[in-house]
Amino acid sequence: MYSGAMSTPERLISATRDLLWERGYVGTSPKAIQRLAGAGQGSMYHHFSGKPALALAAIRRTADEMRGTAESVLDGPGTAYERIAAYLLRERDVLRGCPVGRLTMDPEVTADETLRAPVDETLDWLRGRLTGIVAEGTAGGGLRPGLDASATAAAVVATVQGGYVLARATGSPAAFDAAVHGLLALLAPDDHRTPEA
């Protein structure tokens, strides 16, 4: 249950976000949403036309939150390498997985253009933002010279998303950590490399 200080629509969106992350679209029933949100059927349908509209609001909220978190780290201080490292090393609930990335594996979400749009837009934004940082880093000396900015940005996103999958498969965050540290060793300019890297 969520705080009574939250409005009913907020509780419904929060409940849907949590259920989508844990159960996927098919496993997120209106009754489960209502039960978790502490809201009745009438309240749910008063604020949302149905499960698809509520799921879209929840997916948008999840995507916006992911973007805000990434932006706060990527816009932080430091060189391009340090900002990418801060993004890769930031605290995450690795075993729970990425709430946006998990949606890409949900056949109901990927089959619905409207539900998929916020996921696509967020991942496109992230690749674009990272492309700019990599280009800045290769031009200004903060990253290993000669990197293809777009391909490297895609590799950063793939490492994070693949790291989540590996961690969940093994039941240990060690697989995620190994992927991240391996990528950082590949990206590091000579002055950031450790002797064993």
Mean pLDDT of the chain: 91
Structure confidence at residue 9 (pLDDT): 92
- pLDDT tens readout for residues 87-132: 999 999 999 989 899 899 899 999 999 999 999 999 999 999 999 9
* Structure confidence at residue 2 as a pLDDT band (50, 70, 90): low
Mean pLDDT for the stretch of residues 129-136: 97
pLDDT at 196 over 60: no
Assessment of whether the complete model's pTM goes beyond 0.75: yes
pLDDT at 197 over 50: no
Mean pLDDT for the stretch of residues 143-160: 94
Mean pLDDT is lowest, of 62-66, 74-78, 165-169, 191-195, for: 191-195
* Structure confidence at residue 4 as a pLDDT band (50, 70, 90): low
Look up residue 22 and give its amino acid: E
Rounded CA-CA distance 47/54 in Å is 9
Which residue's structure tokens are 């690795």?
A: 94
Structure confidence at residue 193 (pLDDT): 52
Rounded CA-CA distance 184/16 in Å is 35
Distances (CA, A) of 111 to 20, 121, 148, 177: 15, 16, 32, 32
Structure confidence at residue 3 (pLDDT): 57
For residues 73 and 83, is the Cβ–Cβ distance under 8 A? yes
- pLDDT tens readout for residues 37-80: 998 888 888 899 989 999 999 999 999 999 999 999 999 999 99
Rounded CA-CA distance 95/171 in Å is 7
* Structure confidence at residue 1 as a pLDDT band (50, 70, 90): low
Locate 80 and state its tokens: 């391009």
Rounded CA-CA distance 112/122 in Å is 16
Rounded CA-CA distance 130/128 in Å is 5
DSSP 194: -
**Whats the size of the chain, residue-wise?**
197
Of 66, 131, 130, the closest CA to residue 97 belongs to 66
The packing angle between helices 8-23 and 30-37, to 10°, is 120
* Structure confidence at residue 195 as a pLDDT band (50, 70, 90): very low
Locate 44 and state its tokens: 């749910």
